[in-house]
Structure formats: structure tokens, C-alpha cells
Amino acid sequence: MTGKITETVLRDQVKTLSEKFLQRTAGQIPQLQAELARAAAAGDRDALRTFQEVVHKIHGSGAMFGFDLISGLAGNLEELAMSRVDGAAATDPARIVTLANQMRPVLEQLAQAVTAAVTRAAPST
């Protein structure tokens, strides 16, 4: 054994990591929904910040594993959240509520994209 990683082994490792990403992301959707609901209910800036941090990670990891739709949707959500977390509007709860309500359909699209990717990645029986 030469200690070299074969292309097949490397491909299998990337596939395993991709599947773990999808499973982790699917598990994060309820957290994102909860944080967005918190932001919408009370104009909670901290909830929006937590939301932004999670979608930031999904955005980057999704791109790394070639999940362009997931990455793009997460990137859109991240950009929207950042505009309120860091901007002047961050101190205006009413604007945070409005933004959170506008973000819901994009989060739903992200949830659907993740579900579809998980389904495609599942071994057929």
C-alpha cells in the first residue's frame, strides 16, 4: 500500500461529505424557520443575526459541494438579513418584521430545494 488516495476513494469521501451537508442543512431548516418567526413576531435583531449566520454557512458549503440552487437561495437570504442586521434599519423592529415576512417565501424555496436534493441523494430501493 503506497498511502495514495485513489480517485474512487476521494470521490466516495466527497459524496459522503455532500450527503452529510444535505442532512445537516435539512436539520437546520426548522431552526431557520424558528429564527425567522422570532424576528417577524418581535422585530428581534438577534434572531435575524442568528438566521444570517446559519444561511451564511449554508451558502458557502452549498457552493463548495456544487449545490448551486441551495447556495444561491441561502446567499439571497444572507444578503437580505445582513442588510438589516448591520444597517441603520437594524434598530427599527418594524422594518425587521417586514423583512422577515418578505424572506419567508425564499426560505420556503430553500427548504424545497434541500428536500429535493436529499431525495435525489437517497439510495434507491
Mean pLDDT, range 105-124, rounded to an integer: 92
The fold adopted by the segment(s) 8-120 is Four Helix Bundle (Hemerythrin (Met), subunit A) (1.20.120)
- The CA distance from 82 to 77, in Å, is 9
3 versus 119: the higher-pLDDT residue is: 119
Dump pLDDT digits (tens) for 46-88: 898 999 999 999 999 999 999 999 999 999 999 988 876 665 5
Domain-by-domain residue ranges, the chain?
A: 8-120
